[in-house]
Amino acid sequence: MTLITLKLSFGGIFYKKLRLFLSVLGIIIGVSALLVMNTFGESAKVKTMQEIETFGPEILMVVSGQARVRAGRAIQAEQTTALKLEDAQALRKISAIQLISPLYTGSSIVRYLGKNISTVVQGVNEEYIKLRKFSLIEGRNFLKDEVTGFKKVAILGYKVKRELFGEEKAEGQHILINKLPFTVIGVLEPIGVDASNQDQDDQVLIPITTAMSALFNVDYISGIFISVYKPELVPLIEKQVDEILLKRHRVSPKEKGFNIIKAEDILKFRTEASSLFSSLVQSISILCLIVGSLGVTAIMLLSVNERRREIGLRLACGASRRAILKQFLIESMVISLWGGFIGLFIGLLGILVFLPLLKYPLVLPWKPIIVSTGLTIFFGLLSGIYPAYKASKIDPAILLKGL
């Protein structure tokens, strides 16, 4: 009886192929969307944590002017000349501060043997690379004497090095930054975009003193990076930094020309934004699955009405109502699973194409696959219950009168 049931089920399913495709289209869309967007959510979390690593939980950033965390990134909305190099020196006296580096950011043209590129130039001190946990693939870090001595030395971001030197060794070479000669002493390993929304591979680091005096001719800085010994000390240090700078600038909290940003602020915003987006997309995907299931239900009801004589003959020949119920449940499950597997295939294809294309880390989406499969089975059963029940309640005597 089981073999006959299966044969009848598959015969009924594939009798009208276009109608079958239309009935599973909603399930295909729902499953593929659920898989893709869940995977994008997981990948976004991994990417966020990778970006936060170079802006760790023990780091604070004092930014000149007004800065806000938007879309999970620290963005400077307004720049002022409030922060000075002396502010960083004053903050160094706080005992819980481990590393501190003033920062000046500007744009410059960098030249080497006829190659010209526009890039970001960051003026920093010898503690900056250690503070940001950057590694070098060539050369060395700045020496303290090079910073205090206004030396024209530079450390290149990975992308800058590749564009200027290709596979050549950059250490020891001479470049021009805004027509000033600099000696390359190191190259950073590939880092990517960090939590401050800057591509760390597209930059050149030079001593802060040289940047302010020789290159940009300014007497103020863009910000101050601070690293404390323990993450739990961050709230205390934030308060102390705020108090010291307010006192030095002789302004009220409402008039201060700086802002303090922590990794916690960025991580919290991005986690909330990611969760909200994931919830919204999951809701839409589940709605697609529900619509797809309703489509399967409608098709199964239509199939029951078209096959009433077949059902009547089976019942008259001794088939039990339970067998009829099982037959139509199997049909609805097969249709739903067929749509589910096609959706999984399309979703996996989308993941393999779009994650690398959008520079998201490729993650193995076991959880989304399990969730999508489980929901497909659930909605497949749900969509077949009423049509199967209706088919099992058909009276064969009434149907066979006209035969």
Q: What is the pLDDT along the chain (403 residues), one digit of tens a residue?
A: 455 545 444 445 555 566 666 667 777 877 787 778 778 777 776 766 665 555 667 788 888 765 444 444 444 445 566 788 999 999 988 888 899 999 999 999 999 988 999 999 999 999 999 988 899 999 999 999 999 999 999 999 999 999 999 888 999 999 999 989 999 999 999 887 765 667 788 999 999 999 999 999 998 999 999 988 888 888 888 889 888 988 888 888 777 878 888 766 666 666 666 666 667 766 776 776 677 677 777 777 777 776 677 666 666 776 677 777 777 777 777 777 777 788 888 888 888 888 888 777 777 767 766 776 777 677 767 766 766 667 667 666 665 555 4
Spatial contact of 359 and 199, defined as CB atoms under 8 Å apart: no
Quote the pLDDT of residue 273.
63
Helix axes 366-392, 321-357, angle to 10 degrees: 150
Closest residue by Cα to residue 105 from 79, 129, 127 = 79
Q: E strands along 114-232, which residues?
A: 115-124, 136-139, 153-156, 174-177, 180-188, 203-207, 223-228
Measure the CA–CA gap between 156 and 187, rounded to whole angstroms. 5
Measure the CA–CA gap between 290 and 143, rounded to whole angstroms. 64
Quote the pLDDT of residue 73.
47
Measure the CA–CA gap between 54 and 47, rounded to whole angstroms. 12
Helix/strand/coil for 64:
strand
Measure the CA–CA gap between 399 and 403, rounded to whole angstroms. 8
Q: Give the residue carrying structure tokens 């990778």.
A: 50
Spatial contact of 137 and 221, defined as CB atoms under 8 Å apart: no
Any idea where the domains of the chain sit in the sequence? 2-50+269-402, 81-256
Question: Could you tell me the pTM of the whole model?
Answer: 0.61
Quote the pLDDT of residue 15.
53
Quote the pLDDT of residue 167.
86
Beta pairing partners, 67? 76
Rounded (10°) CA dihedral 60, 64, 66, 72: -40
